[in-house]
Structure 1
Amino acid sequence: MLERARGKKRTEVTFVIPADGPHGPVSVVGDFNDWEPGAHPFVARPDGTRAVTVALPHEHQYGFRYLAAGDYWFDDDHADGHDGRNAILHT
């Protein structure tokens, strides 16, 4: 799931995975962090979900995916779209 908070120059996008998501470390990787695993790791929230927030410039499109331990890649079903390889996010 994606949560957004629009500021004057940037949109803060919070990527959220459910409590029953993959166990172990998970990070969001995409165009905004040069697809670097571990650059934006998810952190547990009080409700059991895990989340990470990234501030991104307005009016851009980014490809992204989630990477869990064991080289397990997965997509966000609530993304703005999919291009056949990656989930798509519009800021």
Structure 2
Amino acid sequence: MLKRKRLRGRIQVTFVLPTDTPPGPVSVVGDFNHWNPHAHPLQPQGDGTRTATVTLPAHSSHAFRYLAAGDQWFDDEHADHHDGTNSRIHT
């Protein structure tokens, strides 16, 4: 799931997954962090989810995917669009 919060000229995007699906560590990687799996690991929250938050320019489009343990790549079913390779978010 994706949550958005409007800031001055920017959009704060929170990427949300269940704590245990998939099991093990998960990071959100995308063009906004140069596809670096160490930049935005999802952190456990008290409500049974894990999240990572990034701030992006308003009126922009970004490609991203999730990377789980064992080099398992997967898309976000709640993304704004899927381009055949990546999930996409439009701010």
TM-score (norm 1): 0.96
Question: How far is 1:10 from its partner?
Answer: 1.0
State the match for 1:15 in structure 2. Answer: 15
Unaligned 5+ residue runs, structure 2?
Answer: none
Identity of aligned residues (%): 62
The amino acid across from 2:34 in the alignment is D
Post-superposition Cα deviations, 1:25-52, rounded to whole Å, max 9, x if no partner, equal 1100001011111210000011111100
SS at the partner of 1:22? coil
Gaps of 5+ in 1: none
Counterparts of 1:53-68 in structure 2, within 5 Å, are 53-68=53-68
Between Structure 1 and Structure 2, how many residues are aligned? 91
CA-to-aligned-CA distance 1:46-68 (integer Å, 9 cap, x gap): 11111000011111100000001
Instruction: Measure, in 2, the Cα distance between the counterparts of 1:72 and 1:48.
Output: 21
Q: After TM superposition, which residue ranges in structure 1, 4 or more long, deviate above 3 angstroms?
A: none
Length-normalised TM-score, structure 2: 0.96
1:29-68, aligned counterparts within 5 Å?
A: 29-68=29-68
Tell me how large the CA RMSD over aligned residues is.
Answer: 0.8
